[in-house]
């Protein structure tokens, strides 16, 4: 039961993370639009994006401008 709840939490957390704006660094990643100092995901967007630190992305993430995304575009 605890394992099932843990998996549900991870799933909900990852979906919630995909919906969060990211600080704008140049052009916004695919699936996001600029709004002030942020890039905001389109409502149907499910692509996660994080700001790139340095020149590389974490394992499983792909560079896209100043960001790292979960999927290649």
- Every domain of the chain and the residues it spans: 2-69
Q: What is the pLDDT of residue 3?
A: 47
Helix (H, G, I), strand (E, B) or coil at 45: coil
Asked if residue 29 has pLDDT above 80, the reply is: yes
Radius of gyration of the chain (CA): 13
Taking a C-beta distance cutoff of 8 angstroms, is the pair 67, 52 a contact?
yes
pLDDT(6) > 80: no
Average pLDDT, whole number, for the chain?
Answer: 78
How many angstroms separate the CA atoms of 16 and 53, rounded?
22
> Does position 10 have pLDDT exceeding 70, yes or no?
no
Q: State phi, psi for 71 to the nearest 5 degrees.
A: -125, 150
Full-model pTM = 0.64
For residues 73 and 54, what is the distance between their CA atoms, to the nearest angstrom? 20
| pLDDT tens-digit map of 60-69 | 999 999 999 9
């Amino acid at each position: 039961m605890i394992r099932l709840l843990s998996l549900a939490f991870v799933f909900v957390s990852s979906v919630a993370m995909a919906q969060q704006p990211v600080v704008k660094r140049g052009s916004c990643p695919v699936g996001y639009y600029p709004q002030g100092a942020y890039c905001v995901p389109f409502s149907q967007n499910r692509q996660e994006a994080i700001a790139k630190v340095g020149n590389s992305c974490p394992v499983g993430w792909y560079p896209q401008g100043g960001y790292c995304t979960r999927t290649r575009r």
